[in-house]
Amino acid sequence: MIDQIKKLEKSSRLLEPGSELRSQWNTEVIEYADRFINTLGNQKAYEIEDTHADRIYELDICDEPTSLTTLIEGIDKGIDTAGINPASAGHMGYIPGGGLYPAALGDYLAAVSNRYAGVYYAAPGAVRLENMLIAWMSRLMGYPKESVGNLTSGGSIANLIAIVTAREAHQIKARDIETSVIYLSEQVHHSIHKAIKIAGLTESKVRYIPLDKQLKLSVSALEQQIQEDVKQGLKPFFVNATVGTTNSGAIDPLESIANVAQTYGLWLHVDACYGGFFKLLPELAPKFNSIERADSITLDPHKTLFLPFGTGAVLIKNTTQALNAYRHAADYMQDTVNANEEISPSDVSPELTKHFRGLRLWLPLKLFGLSPFKAALQEKLLLAQYFYHELQTRRNFELGPEPELSIVMFRYTDGTEDSDRFNKRLISSIQKDGRVFLSSTSIDGTFWIRAAIVIYRTHLEQIHLLLNIIDEKVDELKST
């Protein structure tokens, strides 16, 4: 048996490369990363897949090792070419973020030390760091010190955590589901629908509150609907307000919604996934009035703090409510209970073992300080306004509401042909060109093109490029 163990040891020790091999791998990875970043200016924001795009399948898992050189080539050719390039300054579709380099270094360190960030007892420093980041976000939102939260993989999971907390706080059991009422705006993000479904609340009554002209939730319509529901013996329980809707960046009127929520005893959730970090700009603070009255707030550092994908956040004002929804005891976890001075991520989320996400957020925030983040956010706001006004000076462009944050909706319409059809052709020719990437949406059945100026790398140069491309493509389409 000893012989067999020793033989196995020899092979299993291959999993621990020596410092020479590590250094060789590091060099190769860093060279590739450097090349990627240094050539971003020549890379497209969007590339339609070529016919050999599925070559990553050639690198399927097998018993034999493959060289890093071959694997990096596979990443280069099979992954980092086709589709949207989320690191590109020209990516203005959906809601991008870019991906800050020091976040990659944070991920690297978190993976090497493999700190167990789910439980305070196991990694007090890691949990303190994540709680410190949550406390910073809580202060930013005007939340009390006692509030808790969690760094999630993204906004969707953050919304799910909030909705389950709301369900538990309002003690909605199976028999209550059909009489409970949820209020959403017509512009709510679809991750809220998904969360309602996963939370087992599909059979609740869901009311879609109409919008005003600025595409914000109409509070008078909300209150009217609640009163009707109460009259019918239903139980209004949850209302969602969005800070920065995905389509247009509109901010729902928080103060009036908070008043209504308070009057009727609703859980107020604020989905600030896109817009939340704009609160870093003092001149925007009035738009956030009353956000601190929400029972829960979600934020997405992988959008407006420019992190690589994989970081969202949820804040829950009432600690007991959060713990009621998520804290769980298990026999094999008995060592972890006594030392619990700090709330552990596993106490307020569905996860137990988790990636130490805090490091990828903390490292860039500390290395750069907050100032360049604020500058970048302010720059995006101004770029959106500039783009909006430039389009205004052009003939035949219909524009959405003046951008409240950094999203602009527009469509070309000169009355000579079906506008929806023309704008579909316009966006597909912009996407085919690929130097910039925009996405589209539809509001009340009307087709709109939208530019979401969010990536920290997007500057005036890219907005000029975008305007030139729009002009060029309109001319091309009009002349054929």
Name the residue with tokens 């090349």.
35
Residue 295 has a CB neighbour count (10 Å cut-off) of 22
Min CB(280)–ligand PLP separation in Å: 17
Minimum CB distance to ligand PLP smaller for 119 or for 134:
134
Contacting positions for ligand PLP (CB under 6 A): 95, 154-156, 159, 189, 191, 242, 246, 271, 273-274, 300, 312
Least separation in angstroms between CB 163 and ligand PLP: 12
Q: Compute the least distance from the CB of residue 230 to ligand PLP, in Å.
A: 28
Residue 29 to residue 360: CA distance in whole angstroms: 18
Residues facing residue 270 across a β-bridge: 241, 297
CB nearer ligand PLP, residue 192 or residue 376: 192
Query: Looking at the chain, how many residues does it have?
Result: 480
Residue nearest to ligand PLP (CB): 155
Q: Which is nearer to ligand PLP, 300 or 347 (CB)?
A: 300
The nearest distance, CB 78 to ligand PLP, in angstroms, is 24
Instruction: Provide the angle, in degrees to the nearest 10, between the axes of the packed helices 371-392 and 358-368.
Output: 90
Cβ closest to ligand PLP, residue 235 vs residue 302:
302
- Using the minimum distance from each CB to ligand PLP, give the nearer residue, 165 or 191: 191
In the bound complex, what is the minimum distance in angstroms from residue 28's beta carbon to ligand PLP? 31
CB 197 to ligand PLP: min, Å: 15
Q: Could you count the other beta carbons within 10 Å of the beta carbon of residue 328?
A: 10
Nearer to ligand PLP, 115 or 275 (CB): 275
H/E stretch holding 197: helix 190-198
Closest CA to 122 of 341, 373, 335, 397: 335
Give me the residue label for tokens 């020596």: 18
Closest approach, Cβ 416 to ligand PLP, in A, equals 35
C-alpha span between 302 and 155 (Å, rounded): 9
CB nearer to ligand PLP: pick between 218 and 304 = 304
Buried b (16+ CB within 10 A) or exposed e, 450-465: bbbbbbbbbeeebbeb
Query: Least Å distance between CB 436 and ligand PLP?
Result: 20
- Name the residue nearer to ligand PLP (CB basis): 250 or 430: 250
Show Cβ contacts of residue 176 under 8 Å, excluding neighbours closer than 6 positions.
235
Letter for the amino acid at 70?
A: T
| Termini Cα distance of the chain | 79
Q: Which is nearer to ligand PLP, 152 or 218 (CB)?
A: 152
Smallest gap from residue 404 Cβ to ligand PLP (A): 13
